[in-house]
Structure 1
């Protein structure tokens, strides 16, 4: 989640089961466990959404790639590099 989105969203207490040794070490290092867990969950959600998008759009991507292979890039004559 972006920082601006995090600041705007409502925070809600949640119970989590965490490895006790890891939790103890994190606290000893002064790590904000709630924020770290939130960052990790946010990253997992982002990755899942990316994978889901790729799965849903596999056919369209394959079709586009096949077109380019057969016909070349559209508008390539307008490239200036």
Structure 2
């Protein structure tokens, strides 16, 4: 199993939050990484929706006007 490359980073965090995390024995680096990973994923999804908004709108318009393709074969 290969390990991911790690990079040190300096972060400024709310001191009360850091104290609470330490008291709860939360791995602050891992929690920060998880939060950054979540923020990156959300931004990538937002950008994808913006980049594909025209195609999504066209698909939605088609379905509104013509119904779902192959709908007659649906069994529910």
- TM-score normalised by L of structure 2: 0.90
Of 48, 51, 57 in structure 2, the residue corresponding to residue 53 of structure 1 is: 48
Of 25, 29, 34 in structure 2, the residue corresponding to residue 34 of structure 1 is: 29
Q: For 1:1-81, what aligned pairs fall within 5 Å after superposition?
A: 8-81=3-76
Return 5+ residue gaps in structure 2 as ranges: none
The structure whose RCO (Cα within 8 Å, separation 6+) is larger is: 1
Return 5+ residue gaps in structure 1 as ranges: none
- Cα RMSD (Å): 1.6
**How many residues are paired up?**
76
Q: Cα offset for 1:8?
A: 3.5
After superposition, what is the alpha-carbon deviation per residue over 1:1-23, rounded to whole angstroms, capped at 9, x for unaligned?
A: xxx9xx74211211111111211
- TM-score normalised by L of structure 1: 0.85
Q: Determine the C-alpha separation between the residues in 2 that align with 1:8 and 1:52.
A: 29
